[in-house]
C-alpha cells in the first residue's frame, strides 16, 4: 500500500533529524590518516583528540533541529580543560583544522598577557592551510580557517561586520580590550587579507 503524503513528510523529518544530530559529529568529513607526532601526548589525550578530530568540526551546545548537544562538544571541553602546556605546543602542528583552532583558542585563553595573546592570534592568522566546519545551529556548518575562527569567536576583534563579545563574557576574557590600536589594526589587516583570499587557499585535502 503506497505511503500517504503525510507519512512521507514524517519519514523525511525523522531522517533529517538523524542526519543532523549524528552525521556531522562522526562521519560527514571522514577521517584521514594523520601524520602527527604523538610522542609527548598522553594516551588518553591522544584518544580524545583523535575522536574529536574525526569530524573536523567545532560544534556549539545545540546542533540540528532538535537542538542537541553533540558528543564532540563534551570531548572538546574535556580537551580544553585537561591538555597540558607541553601538549598544546606540540599539537600546534597537528594537521587537523578543528584541533588546531582548539589548540590556539586554549593557548590564547591561558596566555600570560596581551603581548602573548597578540603573537598567538597573529600566528593563527598566518595559517592558511587548514580548514574546518563550525556547526553552531543547523545541519550545515560554515567553513572556517583557523585564524578566521580565532579572530571572530575568540578574540572578537572589533569591526562592523563582526558580532560583539557576548555580554556574559568575563572582563578578563575580553582579549582585545588590552591591545593597542596598532596591534588591532595589524591583526585586522592580516585577517582581511586572509578573508579576501580564503577560497584560493582552500584545498579539500586539508579539510579532512
pLDDT at 176: 72
The domain tally of the chain equals: 1
113 within some domain: yes
pLDDT for 141: 80
- What domain range is 130 assigned to? 5-29+40-206
Q: What's phi and psi for 15, nearest 5 deg? A: -65, -35
Looking at residue 55, what is its pLDDT? 92
CB 193 within 8 A of CB 125: no
Is residue 18 one of the residues assigned to a domain?
A: yes
Q: Provide long-range contacts, Cβ within 8 A and 24+ apart, for 171-177.
A: 173/109, 175/108, 175/114, 175/117, 175/121
Question: What nine digits make up the cell of 116?
Answer: 602573548
Is 35 part of a structural domain of the chain?
Answer: no
The predicted pLDDT at position 175 comes to: 73
Eight-state DSSP code of residue 46: H
pLDDT at 36: 79
Contacts 24+ apart (CB under 8 A), 120-128: 121/147, 121/150, 121/151, 121/155, 121/175, 121/187, 122/186, 122/187, 122/190, 124/100, 124/150, 125/150, 125/151, 125/187, 125/190, 125/191, 125/194, 126/190, 127/100, 128/194, 128/197, 128/201
The verdict on residue 139 lying in a domain is yes
Residues in the chain predicted with pLDDT less than 50, given as ranges, are: 1, 8-33, 160-161, 168-172
Q: Are 206 and 97 in contact (CB under 8 A)?
A: yes
pLDDT of 178:
84
Quick check: 161 and 191 in contact, CB under 8 A?
no
- Considering the domain boundaries, does residue 23 fall inside one? yes
Tell whether 150 is covered by a domain.
yes
Q: Given this model, what pLDDT does residue 17 score?
A: 44
Residue 34, domain member (yes or no):
no
- Whether 109 maps to a domain, the answer reads yes
Task: Summarize pLDDT for 133-176 with one digit per residue, the tens.
Answer: 998 765 668 999 999 999 999 988 876 445 555 554 444 456 77
pTM of the model: 0.78
Amino acid at each position: 500500500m503506497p505511503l500517504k503524503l503525510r507519512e512521507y513528510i514524517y519519514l523525511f523529518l525523522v531522517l533529517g533529524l538523524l542526519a543532523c544530530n549524528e552525521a556531522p559529529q562522526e562521519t560527514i568529513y571522514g577521517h584521514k590518516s594523520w601524520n602527527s607526532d604523538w610522542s609527548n601526548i598522553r594516551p588518553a589525550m591522544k584518544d580524545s583528540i583523535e575522536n574529536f578530530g574525526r569530524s573536523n568540526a567545532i560544534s556549539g551546545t545545540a546542533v540540528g533541529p532538535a537542538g542537541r548537544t553533540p558528543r564532540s562538544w563534551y570531548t572538546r571541553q574535556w580537551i580544553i580543560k585537561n591538555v597540558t602546556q607541553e601538549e598544546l605546543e606540540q599539537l600546534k602542528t597537528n594537521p587537523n583544522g578543528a584541533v588546531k583552532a582548539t589548540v590556539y583558542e586554549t593557548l590564547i585563553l591561558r596566555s600570560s598577557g596581551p603581548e602573548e595573546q597578540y603573537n598567538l592570534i597573529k600566528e593563527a592568522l598566518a595559517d592558511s592551510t587548514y580548514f574546518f566546519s563550525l556547526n553552531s545551529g543547523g545541519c550545515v556548518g560554515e567553513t572556517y580557517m583557523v585564524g578566521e575562527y580565532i579572530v571572530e569567536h575568540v578574540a572578537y576583534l572589533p569591526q562592523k561586520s563582526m558580532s560583539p563579545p557576548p555580554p556574559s563574557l568575563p572582563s578578563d576574557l575580553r582579549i582585545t580590550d588590552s591591545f593597542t590600536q596598532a596591534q588591532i589594526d595589524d591583526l585586522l589587516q592580516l585577517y582581511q587579507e586572509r578573508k579576501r583570499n580564503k577560497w584560493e587557499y582552500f584545498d579539500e585535502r586539508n579539510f579532512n
